[in-house]
Amino acid sequence: RKAWAEPYRIKMVEPLRMLSREEREQKLSEAGYNTFLLRSEDVYIDLLTDSGTNAMSDYQWAGMMLGDEAYAGSRNFYYLEANMQKYYGYKYLVPTHQGRGAEHLISRILIKPGDFIPGNMYFTTTRQHQELAGGTFVDVIIDEAHDPASTHPFKGNVDLDKLESLIKKVGAEKVPYVSLAATVNMAGGQPVSMENVRAVRELTARYGIRVILDATRAVENAFFIKEREPGYQHKTIAEILKEFCSYTDGCTMSGKKDLLVNIGGFLAVNDEEIFQQARNLVVVYEGLHTYGGLAGRDLEAMARGMEEAVQEDYIRHRVLQVRYLGEKLQQHGVPIVVPIGGHAVFLDAKRFLPHIPQDRFPAQTLAAAIYADSGVRSMERGIVSAGRDPKTGDHRYPKLELVRLTIPRRVYTNAHMDVVAESVAAVYQEREKLSGLRMVYEPTYLRFFQARFEPL
Ligand SMILES: CC1=C(O)/C(=C\N=C(/Cc2ccc(O)c(F)c2)C(=O)O)C(COP(=O)(O)O)=CN1
């Protein structure tokens, strides 16, 4: 049979509201043409992010009633710790309020000023914390990752030659760890193969260099390994996930994605010394080492979300829903990043709007146009997100100028995907009418969150 449906039924709904075109144009102007500055109530289908926007299950909601809100030694912490050990395989857990809380801790602990941190393409908060700790991020992802049209099945892979030449150039003592993301958000939700993470482990072990995984979407990564990598078709998602993590020394986790919670994250490590430092530092920045800035109920919901995330029918539906939207857009001839990623469809704004130069912010322009057309909210992932080069002060000019249509887990049906595809196709038909933006307000840090623009 071909037909497939959501592996769940809906028990609660939030009514959606659609504004008129005129109202949307007004809201967009008030938001400075930045989708981050729109109000949720003015958004029809919210594809800004899959972070914290996912629907919890009744099993997770029931867990919220079982929050042990003791200040120290909460029951929920030990359940989360046991599940982390079971599914990710690391020894020690340090809970944090969300992913960047863990990124902050590990960056401060492992990075010395003047260090270099190689990684498979940057991520905004990850790189920010590496730079704040005095490090310099160096991109060692394979070249294909920067080509939106390349169909390489594992575009998230590390280029081992780039990695080794960096180590030789700066010296192993200046490389505190490899920052490995799986999947790679900014490349289009692209996976890393098991063969590659194993090779990264072998190479770094020769130099005594750690590998710290960003495990935020590692379950989606496991799905692509099962689907695409020889020898893994008959392994369970849980087995693939655990093997993948076994080649790394620890992970940072934003539970707001794969783990199906609205808030939550953690740092997990195998090294007892790093653990001692992290559990000492966490009490300064997040909260006691058994809650890390989260309520007991949040720890419980994250532990239960972990069990659900690795269920085969759930993760298959999740990734295939994203693919469904991507393939619909391809049928309309809309240029997107291929292969279609695990958490989002990424529009290639350079090919979508070839008449708009990058410093007139084509992706920002496109995200605004899609909202004006239909109330669908998306996110700019191009020159604005890339920010300025700390050395030159000029914009960084990334090869990838993208708009991310990010699908929250268990929230929308394929009928919503049809509406999104129709809107993007309509904007594509009228693309010649778009003429770019100019930035009128630029914040110092992670400018894309709060920058404001005016039409040219
Ligand atoms: C692979 C990875 C992430 O995707 C991630 C977050 N992601 C978000 C939220 C976001 C973050 C930074 C932005 O420039 C952005 F515009 C959106 C997102 O939408 O994709 C974090 C950080 O985890 P925290 O958000 O729990 O602290 C670490 N690693």
Q: Tens of pLDDT along 332-362? A: 999 999 999 999 999 999 999 999 999 999 9
Respond yes or no: is residue 71 known to be catalytic.
Answer: yes
Pocket mutation for ligand 1, best pick of 254, 266, 345 (most atoms within 8 Å of C-beta): 254
Digit-coded pLDDT (tens) for 427-444: 999 999 999 999 999 999
Spell out which residues line ligand 1, taking CB within 6 angstroms: 49, 51, 98-100, 123-126, 181, 185, 214, 216, 254, 256, 265, 379, 385, 446
Question: Pocket of ligand 1, candidates 51, 258, 447: which has the most ligand atoms within 8 Å of its Cβ, to mutate?
Answer: 51
What does residue 253 show for φ and ψ, rounded to 5 degrees?
-140, 125
Are 347 and 330 in contact by the 8 Å Cβ rule? The answer is no
For the CA of 101, the closest atom of ligand 1 is 27
Known active-site residue 136: no
Q: Where are the beta strands (DSSP E) in 147-300?
A: 177-181, 210-214, 250-254, 265-269
Q: Give, using CA atoms, the residue closest to atom 21 of ligand 1.
A: 99
Please give the share of the chain, as a percent, with pLDDT higher than 70: 100
Contact 404, 381 (CB under 8 A): yes
The predicted structure's pLDDT at residue 445: 87
Task: Give residue-wise pLDDT tens across range 189-239.
Answer: 999 999 999 999 999 999 999 999 999 999 999 999 999 999 999 999 999
Q: What is the pLDDT of residues 170-180, one digit of tens each?
A: 999 999 999 99
What confidence tens digit (pLDDT) does each residue in 115-142 have? 999 999 999 999 999 999 999 999 999 9
352 an active-site residue? Answer: no
CA distance 313 to 316: 5
Q: Which of 17, 21, 58, 71 is catalytic?
A: 71
Sign of CA dihedral 242, 244, 246, 248: negative
pLDDT of the residue at 277: 98
pLDDT at 71: 96
pLDDT for 4 equals 84
In the chain the first and final C-alpha atoms are separated, in Å, by 51
| Distance of alpha carbon 428 from alpha carbon 309, whole angstroms | 35
- pLDDT at residue 276 tops 90: yes
Would you state the torsion angle of the CA atoms of residues 96, 98, 101, 107, taken in this order, to the nearest 10 degrees? 110
What pLDDT is attached to residue 245?
99
Q: Are 243 and 59 in contact (CB under 8 A)?
A: no
Active site residue 116: no
381 catalytic, yes or no?
yes
